[in-house]
Amino acid sequence: MGFSSDLGALRLVNAAGSSYGVVHKVFDKSSPLLGLFAPLHIDIMAYEDVLAQVGDPLLSVIWRDPWVIPHVQKAEDLRLKARDLALVARGLIGEVFSEEERELTETYWRAILLVAEGYWKSTDVAGALGLKGGLASASSILSKLA
């Protein structure tokens, strides 16, 4: 999530935050910043748009998420930094869970990884996770993640 403001046309001020916690703090009715910023949602970029600018098919896949760009300058960086980036991603997801007053449990994390690996059906996720509640538990977890 990005924020910008004109502040009387004197200067442009930008603030950036990836979590809803930042949004709530800035737009809280008691915030001294209320009225100085306007939200600007920055979504994942279309592959075609990135490819047109970058020209590298692999790097274009990686750079679809603007957050990654400062951390991965070439495709080789992804291989070298994969573990660190995975830990950061887990931390960011954990922040979202805590802001929603939930805990990122190992089961939720494993479900996220399964979806990232291409397991799209609740039955596949249930089987891979080995949940006691089976399909109903997997469906519930996937619904909460969505």
pLDDT of residue 49: 92
pLDDT of residue 62: 86
Instruction: Tell me the residue type at 55.
Output: G
The CA distance from 20 to 119, in Å, is: 27
Domain residue ranges of the chain, discontinuous segments joined by +: 1-42
Q: Are 32 and 40 in contact (CB under 8 A)?
A: no
Better pLDDT: 4 or 79? 79
pLDDT of 15 strictly over 60: no
pLDDT of residue 21: 63
Query: Among 82, 91, 142, which Cα is nearest to 114's?
Result: 142
pTM above 0.75, yes or no: no
pLDDT of residue 25: 67
- Retrieve residue 13's tokens: 């001020």
pLDDT, tens digit (0-9, with 9 covering 90-100), for 70-117: 888 888 888 898 888 888 878 777 877 776 677 778 888 888 888 888
pLDDT of residue 51: 92
Query: Among 111, 132, 109, 108, which Cα is nearest to 122's?
Result: 111
Highest mean predicted confidence (pLDDT) among 21-25, 36-40, 137-141 = 137-141
DSSP 7-18: TTTT--EEEE-S
The CA distance from 111 to 119, in Å, is: 9
pLDDT of 48 strictly over 90: yes
Mean residue pLDDT of the chain comes to: 76
Query: Among 26, 24, 144, which Cα is nearest to 93's?
Result: 144
Q: Show the DSSP H helices in 33-105 as ranges.
A: 47-54, 57-62, 75-99
pLDDT of residue 29: 75
pLDDT of residue 10: 39
Better pLDDT: 32 or 25? 32
Which residues, including other chains, have CB under 8 Å from residue 39's CB and lie 6 or more apart?
1, 2, 3, 23, 27
- Retrieve residue 30's tokens: 């008691």
